[in-house]
Amino acid sequence: MSRLDGVIRGFVLLALAGLLAGCAQTSQARSVQTSGFLGDYSMLQEGKSGEALLVYKNPKANWASYDKIMLDPVTVWASQDSPMAPEDTQLLADMLYTKIKDALSTDYKFVTAPGPGVMRLQVAITEADKPNVVMHTVGNIVPQLMMLSNIKKLATGTRAFAGQASVEAKMTDGATGQLLSAAVDKRGGGGGPARAFEGTGADIEHAYDYWAQKLRWRLCQLRGGANCVEPKA
């Protein structure tokens, strides 16, 4: 092989790596354990195809009446002996917060106080399959991190999550506190050739991307939108 052929082959392999990485997918787990974040899980039922593993939707909710969202800082619920460093905990929380805000900001105005027309969204990243799960303290969202759209690497402590991600979330009426919806879900790396180029941190990020876009699609449907595009897994 000539030197030129070697260079060309190298560029082709790099391009292929980027293509495969961009196509990496995650898949929904078969089951998930609850962490305690939602408090009461009695109203949740097993989700149907395309839904979270556990889900509740208030049949009386008037979704079209909401045009604003109050998004609480994302919290992280992990085991007491989790090896995650504080900066990893903060990074995971900031990443999911940013992706949700980016996904919904086109359709809703984000506010910092409850009130009429406001949905309050509370989200937790969980490691519910570990013993002694407790909420780990997470600082306020750093404004600079809120502007990030892609976070490609996580520090080594996130290996505690082993390429999978679990979340619990609930939406309440910002004026009355009435529960509108709640969900518990878990996703993991989809495998395939792309896993040769991406690590477990990428699996987590892909899961967050999917959940954020899925939430946007679901809210679009609930309020009767005409051009709702369902994200691919």
Can you give the residue range of the structural domain that contains 185?
Answer: 3-222
The rounded mean pLDDT for the chain is 77
The answer to whether residue 230 sits within a structural domain is no
The answer to whether residue 229 sits within a structural domain is no
Q: What is the pLDDT of residues 51-102, one digit of tens each?
A: 999 999 999 999 999 999 999 999 888 777 776 777 778 888 888 999 999 9
The answer to whether residue 228 sits within a structural domain is no
Look at residues 132, 113, 134, 115 and name the one whose alpha carbon lies nearest to residue 124: 134
Cβ within 8 Å of residue 11, ≥6 positions away: none
Whole-structure pTM value:
0.76
Comparing 199 with 48, the larger pLDDT belongs to 48
- Residues 167-190 as b/e (b if ≥16 CB within 10 A, e otherwise) read bbbbbbbbeeeebbbbbbbbbbbb
| pLDDT at residue 213 greater than cutoff 80 | yes
Q: What is the pLDDT of residues 142-155, one digit of tens each?
A: 544 443 433 434 44
- Total domains in the chain come to 1
Q: How confident is the model at residue 230 (pLDDT cuts 50, 70, 90)?
A: very high
